[in-house]
């Protein structure tokens, strides 16, 4: 966590993906069709406290949200739902803080919170990569 805070002094964004070096930032996979994953992810995100869903673009599989931090900064978050194959979907998250200062690791924590919430809701479908 200290390393994250140090990185966060300089960087104000964080993203997940297949090739992420940090295992906690690797894409999450679920045994669901893209349509079903989309429905589940959107409904879960809409219920998350402190987050506001701004746009849903189902055709490209993106949900755009924002979160206000205690210090009053705004974080822009994009959650992508990708159909990997007919029966499996991946979820990736990009989070960025507005402003020029680093985020002290808050984008990292936001991503982990969203993944924890989705994994809990979709536990029956989670694929351990």
- How much is the pTM? 0.90
Please state the domain extents for the chain: 2-127
Average pLDDT, the chain: 90
Is 90 within 8 Å of 28 (Cβ atoms)? yes
Q: What digits encode the pLDDT tens for the residues 49-106? A: 999 999 999 999 999 999 998 778 899 999 999 999 999 999 999 999 988 777 777 8
Q: How far is Cα 15 from Cα 79, in angstroms, rounded to an integer?
A: 10
Q: Domain 2-127 adopts which CATH fold?
A: TATA-Binding Protein (3.30.310)
Q: What angle do CA 55, 44, 58 make, to 5 degrees?
A: 35
């Amino acid at each position: 966590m200290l390393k994250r805070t140090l990185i966060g002094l300089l960087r104000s964004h964080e993203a997940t993906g297949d090739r992420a070096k940090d295992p906690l930032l690797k894409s999450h996979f679920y045994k669901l069709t893209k349509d079903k994953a989309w429905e589940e992810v959107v409904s879960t995100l809409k219920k998350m406290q402190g987050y506001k869903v701004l746009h849903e673009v189902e055709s490209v599989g993106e949900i755009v949200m924002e979160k206000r931090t205690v210090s009053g900064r705004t974080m822009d978050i994009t959650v992508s739902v990708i159909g990997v194959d007919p029966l499996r979907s991946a979820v990736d998250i990009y989070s960025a803080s507005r402003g020029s200062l680093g985020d002290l690791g808050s984008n990292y924590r936001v991503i982990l919170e969203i993944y924890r919430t989705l994994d809990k809701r979709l536990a029956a479908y989670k694929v351990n990569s």
